[in-house]
With several copies, the nearest count.
Chain A
Amino acid sequence: MTVESTAARKPSRSSNSSGAGTKRATAKKSPGKAPAKKAAAKSATRDAAQREASPHDVSQHDSELVQLLTPEGKRVEHPEFSIDLSPDELRGLYRDMVLTRRFDAEATSLQRQGELGLWASLLGQEAAQIGSGRALRDDDYVFPTYREHGVAWCRGVPPENLLGMFRGVNHGGWDPNTNNFQLYTIVIGSQTLHATGYAMGVAKDGADSAVIAYFGDGASSQGDVAESFTFSAVYNAPVVFFCQNNQWAISEPTEKQTRVPLYQRARGYGFPGVRVDGNDVLACLAVTRSALERARRGEGPTLVEAFTYRMGAHTTSDDPTKYRRDEEREAWEAKDPILRLRTYLESEKIADAAFFTSLEEESEVLGKRVREAVRAMPDPDPMAIFDNVYADGSALVDEERAQFAAYQASFADSVEEGK
């Protein structure tokens, strides 16, 4: 189940794996200035970011990583973050991850079949999304990017809803207030400000809900994300910034965005940052829950960096063989978020064979449901181009609509005539 193949892992990619060294290793050799100079650095100033021994140590902070379940499926404790889940809850998390992966694989294959124009797979990021998603209360509010299919699942958003924009029949189109799950946002980083504003509103209303904003490692470079840190800190807004550092922004490794771990960004804005093992669903749940509680208590924002990996291509349009080697992905397969929870569930006898079998069936049902729903999605009526441009209407849109309708009608006439 956990190893179900997705189209994204097509063999052509691994054919490249004979090359020596990883992209990451190569990149280390070419910062703007020679690293040698770095060593010569004296502590010329006081408040140095002392950890920046090497500018490209972004992935070298495992000691700072909050982890509750090792890649081998062993439960470990963390001094600050603990979690105590019932067997039901544990199985629930597993189920969420498996069904999310199944949904994702189905979408990828629907794209290959031409049913979708594009798909942005979350493969590998299930723990980050299910862990954080399951930490949310119903009255909390989510501001996703375009890859938060697992979070959407946790919110109860019908999976089909997510596919409309990827099929090309709408730009999202669901009601964000139905599941407190805002529309997918494509312009990188912009939703972090919406989340902050929404959280400012929550505080104004005196509510104790929290807001969570998802964004990627690449997005961390956008000015909007920095401004959302500033606004949320100044207004002490109840928002959690959840950065899925999947180590790639399309073809660019995280070193192109930062030279220190991203979670450290928060400190300079006056709120805490924490790095969590993004492939550990328990740790993601615990850390996000704690950050949400902090927000509820009126203590303001937290940045959570979920350290994970984009197992597939950026989207179905992308070809990762151009910029990264298969070894890297293979190394991350050993840290698979689903596999490790399964190992734990099995070794602790929290789930039996019947559970896994029935989940497999459930997955198939979900896949089928999604497939059928997508295939049944009608193309929009061309006249819908003119709908919802304005809430209050517009004389201009009305004029253009009428002209277009007349044009369409005239065309129909001439077809008639032509008969």
Chain B
Amino acid sequence: MAVQKLPIAKAINESLRKALDTDPKVLIMGEDVGKLGGVFRVTDGLQKDFGEDRVIDTPLAESGIVGTAIGLALRGYRPVVEIQFDGFVFPAYDQIVTQLAKMHARALGKVKMPVVIRIPYGGGIGAVEHHSESPEALFAHVAGLKVVSPSTSNDAYWMMQQAIQSDDPVIFFEPKRRYWDKGEVDTDAIPGPLHSARTLREGSDLTLVAYGPMVKVCLEAAAAAQEEGKSLEVVDLRSMSPIDFDTVQASVERTGRLVVVHEAPVFYGSGAEIAARITERCFYHLEAPVLRVGGFHAPYPPARVEEEYLPGLDRVLDAVDRSLAY
């Protein structure tokens, strides 16, 4: 039973279960994570099996959740905190940015902050305001935090294991609209380091870089492009901080072209950092400027128009065409 087919949500659930089982210091905390099992059921059944002392329904206060998680970490616990939706992480932003991220450095390494903050993120589920955002850049800019996002069930399982084992705070962005996508999970074989990118599809004409929910879109785009005779390489970034620039660089040195795709607004988004750094590293290899496909500089729109806002196949292929036209 090492290999199972699981939806991403369930893979995370299994990973949390394993962590609770293996390490008595692991705690789950958040709003509605107990009996309800979280609004996405990611913590389903965990309180029943591990008790209210390990799987903790908290008061409705995100700063309090993260702030007390910091205290628990100081006491030797390894809290895994759930923020119910992307748009609700901001009340905790101060604790994350000024305390969680900096405590290890402040103590010159004498304390560790093994706290994981799980955030279901991104759009595409037809939700109301604040339930569809992609704020990863706002965390990746902050030193002391690590920021990752899985795109497959296997990564969801393993990256969560690795995040919990990490002695650093990890902001774990879960692609909520892919929660129900199934994939194989091999609970015996670690797929690689937490912060390395992975080439999911090889190609020679252009590199697509994405993470989380956009990986699927890019794979589809690559398949569609193939039919038009274009060979696209797809790199799943997996980690937005740090970024595995080596893998991206190696790919771009071969393909000469790069398009970065994410849901978050393009302006000051992760694509900017990737474009800047890869252009510096691959200046003589690039046949076209790095192009970015992402959200607009506007609040995430109402659900009935989100399909137009979200980067989809067509917008990715449009960017691919523009890049190839150089």
Number of A-B contacts (CB under 8 A): 264
Contact of B308 among A205, A219, A256, A382 (CB under 8 A): A382
* Cβ contacts A to B, 20 pairs, < 8 Å: A117-B303, A165-B128, A168-B128, A168-B306, A171-B102, A173-B108, A175-B111, A186-B130, A193-B64, A194-B70, A200-B71, A221-B60, A222-B91, A251-B35, A252-B31, A322-B36, A322-B37, A390-B168, A394-B195, A410-B318
Binary interface encoding of chain B residues 274-306 relative to chain A, with 1 for a CB under 8 A from any of its CBs, else 0 = 000000000000000000000011110111111
Measured CB to CB, the closest approach of chain A to B5, in angstroms, equals: 25
| Residue B129 interfacial (CB < 8 Å) | yes
- Chain A residues positioned under 8 Å from B35 (CB to CB): 23, 251, 322-323
- Chain A residues positioned under 8 Å from B63 (CB to CB): 193, 223-224, 227
Identity of the chain A residue whose Cβ is nearest the Cβ of B319 in the assembled complex = A407
Among A143, A164, A168, A187, chain B packs the most CB atoms within 10 A around the CB of A187
A166 to B91 alpha-carbon distance, docked (Å): 24
A256 to B58 alpha-carbon distance, docked (Å): 7
| Residue B229 interfacial (CB < 8 Å) | no
**Are A171 and B91 touching (Cβ within 8 A)?**
no
- Chain A residues positioned under 8 Å from B267 (CB to CB): 396
> Could you say which of A88-96, A176-184, A358-366 contacts chain B?
A176-184
- Chain A residues positioned under 8 Å from B243 (CB to CB): 396
A400 to B113 alpha-carbon distance, docked (Å): 23
Besides the contacts A174-B107, A388-B109, A391-B109, what 19 more A-B pairs have beta carbons closer than 8 Å? Answer: A168-B304, A169-B302, A171-B299, A175-B110, A176-B74, A176-B111, A187-B99, A194-B74, A196-B71, A221-B60, A221-B64, A230-B59, A250-B32, A251-B57, A384-B301, A387-B109, A389-B105, A397-B298, A411-B314
**Are A187 and B304 touching (Cβ within 8 A)?**
no
- Chain B residues positioned under 8 Å from A129 (CB to CB): none
A169 to B195 alpha-carbon distance, docked (Å): 32
Q: Which B203-257 residues have a C-beta within 8 angstroms of A?
A: 241-244
Q: Which B136-151 residues have a C-beta within 8 angstroms of A?
A: 143-144, 146
| Residue B4 interfacial (CB < 8 Å) | no
- Chain B residues positioned under 8 Å from A323 (CB to CB): 34-36
The 10 A-B pairs of least Cβ separation, nearest first, read A197-B71, A193-B67, A168-B303, A201-B75, A197-B68, A227-B64, A251-B36, A221-B59, A391-B167, A396-B242
Interface residues on B, range: 35 or more
Identity of the chain A residue whose Cβ is nearest the Cβ of B244 in the assembled complex = A395
| Residue A392 interfacial (CB < 8 Å) | yes
A166 to B106 alpha-carbon distance, docked (Å): 13
Q: Which A377-419 residues have a C-beta within 8 angstroms of B?
A: 379-382, 384-392, 394-397, 400, 404, 407, 410-411
A30 to B47 alpha-carbon distance, docked (Å): 13
A177 to B74 alpha-carbon distance, docked (Å): 9
Identity of the chain A residue whose Cβ is nearest the Cβ of B162 in the assembled complex = A392
A249 to B57 alpha-carbon distance, docked (Å): 11
Q: Enumerate chain B interface residues (CB-CB to A < 8 A).
A: 31-32, 34-37, 39, 52-53, 57-61, 63-64, 66-77, 87-88, 90-91, 94-95, 98-99, 102-113, 126-130, 143-144, 146, 166-168, 195, 241-244, 266-267, 296-299, 301-306, 308-309, 314-315, 318
A381 to B35 alpha-carbon distance, docked (Å): 41
**Are B297 and A174 touching (Cβ within 8 A)?**
no
- Chain B residues positioned under 8 Å from A200 (CB to CB): 68, 71-72
**Are B72 and A198 touching (Cβ within 8 A)?**
yes
**Are A256 and B59 touching (Cβ within 8 A)?**
yes
- Chain A residues positioned under 8 Å from B241 (CB to CB): 396
A104 to B299 alpha-carbon distance, docked (Å): 28
Identity of the chain B residue whose Cβ is nearest the Cβ of A390 in the assembled complex = B168
Measured CB to CB, the closest approach of chain B to A63, in angstroms, equals: 26
**Are A177 and B110 touching (Cβ within 8 A)?**
yes
**Are A176 and B304 touching (Cβ within 8 A)?**
no
**Are B31 and A390 touching (Cβ within 8 A)?**
no
Contact of B67 among A167, A171, A196 (CB under 8 A): A196
A379 to B305 alpha-carbon distance, docked (Å): 7
Identity of the chain B residue whose Cβ is nearest the Cβ of A379 in the assembled complex = B304
Identity of the chain A residue whose Cβ is nearest the Cβ of B24 in the assembled complex = A204
Q: Enumerate chain A interface residues (CB-CB to B < 8 A).
A: 23, 30, 117-118, 143, 146, 164-177, 182-183, 185-188, 190, 192-202, 204-205, 218-219, 221-224, 227-228, 230-231, 234, 249-252, 256-257, 317-318, 322-323, 379-382, 384-392, 394-397, 400, 404, 407, 410-411
- Chain B residues positioned under 8 Å from A201 (CB to CB): 71-72, 74-77
Measured CB to CB, the closest approach of chain B to A145, in angstroms, equals: 12
Measured CB to CB, the closest approach of chain B to A202, in angstroms, equals: 7
**Are B129 and A186 touching (Cβ within 8 A)?**
yes
- Chain A residues positioned under 8 Å from B315 (CB to CB): 407
Measured CB to CB, the closest approach of chain A to B254, in angstroms, equals: 21
A114 to B63 alpha-carbon distance, docked (Å): 35
**Are B68 and A187 touching (Cβ within 8 A)?**
no
Identity of the chain A residue whose Cβ is nearest the Cβ of B315 in the assembled complex = A407
Among A195, A218, A396, A410, chain B packs the most CB atoms within 10 A around the CB of A396
- Chain A residues positioned under 8 Å from B266 (CB to CB): 400
Identity of the chain A residue whose Cβ is nearest the Cβ of B308 in the assembled complex = A382
**Are A167 and B304 touching (Cβ within 8 A)?**
yes
A224 to B58 alpha-carbon distance, docked (Å): 15
**Are A400 and B98 touching (Cβ within 8 A)?**
no
Identity of the chain B residue whose Cβ is nearest the Cβ of A205 in the assembled complex = B75
- Chain B residues positioned under 8 Å from A172 (CB to CB): 106-108
Among A196, A230, A395, chain B packs the most CB atoms within 10 A around the CB of A395
- Chain B residues positioned under 8 Å from A199 (CB to CB): 71
